Amino acid sequence: MLQRLAVLNLSCGGAVVQSPVSLPPMSLHTIQLECQQHIVRVQVRVLRTTPAAGEGFSIAVEFAEPEAGLLAICQLTSQETNRA
């Protein structure tokens, strides 16, 4: 089942996403990250799931298979942050 998730925090090692459904710790999933013209699919491992302040869940994931494309997205993200 495909689900659009909001990225709350993104680093080169992982991310925190908001999801309408809970995911079990240590489960593996494939997510697709989109930033400007870059699209990268990467496998993630769920570290923890906590109820969100509003609805849904905050889910911390680590990238199980970091790759060059993911590093490029991290660099783009840090460049955008430095411009702000």
Q: Map out the domains of the chain as residue ranges.
A: 6-83
CA of residue 80 relative to chain centroid, distance? 17
Looking at the chain, list the stretches that DSSP marks H as alpha helix, in order from N- to C-terminal side.
68-83
Q: Which fold has domain 6-83?
A: Thrombin, subunit H (2.40.10)
Phi and psi for 2 in degrees, rounded to 5? -90, 140
Q: Which residue in this structure is represented by tokens 């889910």?
A: 59
Question: What is the model's pTM?
Answer: 0.77
Cβ-count burial of 43 within 10 angstroms (0-12 exposed, 13-18 middle, 19+ buried)?
middle
DSSP 22: -
List, for residues 30-83, the tens digit of each pLDDT value.
888 777 777 777 889 999 999 988 889 999 999 887 665 566 566 666 655 555
